[in-house]
Amino acid sequence: DTGVSQNPRHKITKRGQNVTFRCDPISEHNRLYWYRQTLGQGPEFLTYFQNEAQLEKSRLLSDRFSAERPKGSFSTLEIQRTEQGDSAMYLCASSLPDRVPYEQYFGPGTRLTVT
Amino acid sequence: AQKVTQAQTEISVVEKEDVTLDCVYETRDTTYYLFWYKQPPSGELVFLIRRNSFDEQNEISGRYSWNFQKSTSSFNFTITASQVVDSAVYFCALSGRGMYSGGGADGLTFGKGTHLIIQP
């Protein structure tokens, strides 16, 4: 039974560079979420997919951020022209499909450091 | 807008003591869902419990219990006979009914967390 996986686990990049993270959800989960967590804070919702459709985006998701889930399986989160303020842990979660909001299962996260 | 407040930033107790973590929420939804997650030092969030707004029964799972009080918009979490392995950051979270699925698929709104330290 594999959980949510995220790659890479750590990423160090220079300001202005583009970065891309990958999330593989639990296989039967059709809902996929991205969150960002900074030190000492709770996770903040960024965006959500149901299958391949991106249904909700937070105001936190600036134009430099884009997320995709092309075949309704794995998802990628790209940050263009990174800024030091983008340094955070990026978390992915997935959940079962149903009308009731099932619990979200989280991956280990990708820690981004922008220098 | 939804909001979750965890007023206790850090709690430190000695092993075997009971400890209660407070959570107060705000929402305009009449149907909503509350969650508790644990984030141990390893960093991965672990789901503990989900509670529906229309079910005010308290729940007990081993040493863990949850007290949902709709009248005070609180969803408190108690650990009985705490153990060192309970040391972690605990997050309370809230989800609305959901705009697209009709059943609640919104992203979770988390509190800032309570850092629980259990001393041996």
**pLDDT tens for residues A7-32?**
999 999 999 999 999 999 998 888 99
Mean of the pLDDT values across residues B95-113? 69
Residue B105 has pLDDT above 60, yes or no: no
Mean of the pLDDT values across residues B75-92? 97
H/E/C letters for each residue in B13-80? Answer: EECCCCEEECCEEECCCCCCEEEEEEECCCCCCEEEEEEECCCCCCEEECCEEEEEEHHHCEEEEEEC
Whether B110 contacts A44, CB under 8 Å: yes
Residue of B39, B101, B109 best to disrupt the A interface, most CBs of A under 10 A: B101
Q: Is residue A79 very low, low, confident or very high in pLDDT (cuts 50, 70, 90)?
A: very high
Instruction: Give, for A112, the enclosing helix (H) or strand (E).
Output: strand A110-114
Q: Is residue B106 very low, low, confident or very high in pLDDT (cuts 50, 70, 90)?
A: low
Tokens of A62: 């600036």
Pairing of strands A10-13, A110-114: parallel
**Rounded CA separation A94/A28 (Å):** 9
Pairwise pLDDT comparison (A61 vs B97), residue with the higher score: A61
Q: What part of A 67-106 touches B (C-beta under 8 Å)?
A: 89, 91, 93, 95, 98-106
Tokens of A34: 């991205």
Mean of the pLDDT values across residues A72-78? 94
**Rounded CA separation A56/A37 (Å):** 18
User: In degrees to the nearest 10, what's the CA dihedral of B82, B51, B30, A102?
Assistant: 130
- Contact between chains at A50 and B100 (C-beta distance less than 8 A): yes
Q: What is the mean pLDDT of chain B?
A: 89
**B44 in A contact zone (CB under 8 Å):** yes
Looking at the complex, report in whole angstroms how far the Cα of residue A101 sits from the nearest Cα belonging to chain B.
Answer: 5
Partners of residue B12 on adjacent β-strands:
B117
- Contact between chains at B104 and A109 (C-beta distance less than 8 A): no
Q: Is residue B42 very low, low, confident or very high in pLDDT (cuts 50, 70, 90)?
A: confident
The reported pLDDT for the residue numbered B101 is: 44
Residue B59 has pLDDT above 90, yes or no: no
The reported pLDDT for the residue numbered A67 is: 96
The reported pLDDT for the residue numbered A87 is: 97
The reported pLDDT for the residue numbered A100 is: 63
Residue B81 has pLDDT above 60, yes or no: yes
The reported pLDDT for the residue numbered A98 is: 65
The reported pLDDT for the residue numbered B100 is: 47
- Contact between chains at A45 and B45 (C-beta distance less than 8 A): no
- Contact between chains at B105 and A101 (C-beta distance less than 8 A): yes
Measured in degrees and rounded to the nearest 5, phi and psi for residue B39 equal -125, 95
**A36 in B contact zone (CB under 8 Å):** no
- A44 to chain B: which residues are within 8 Å by CB? 110
The reported pLDDT for the residue numbered B103 is: 43
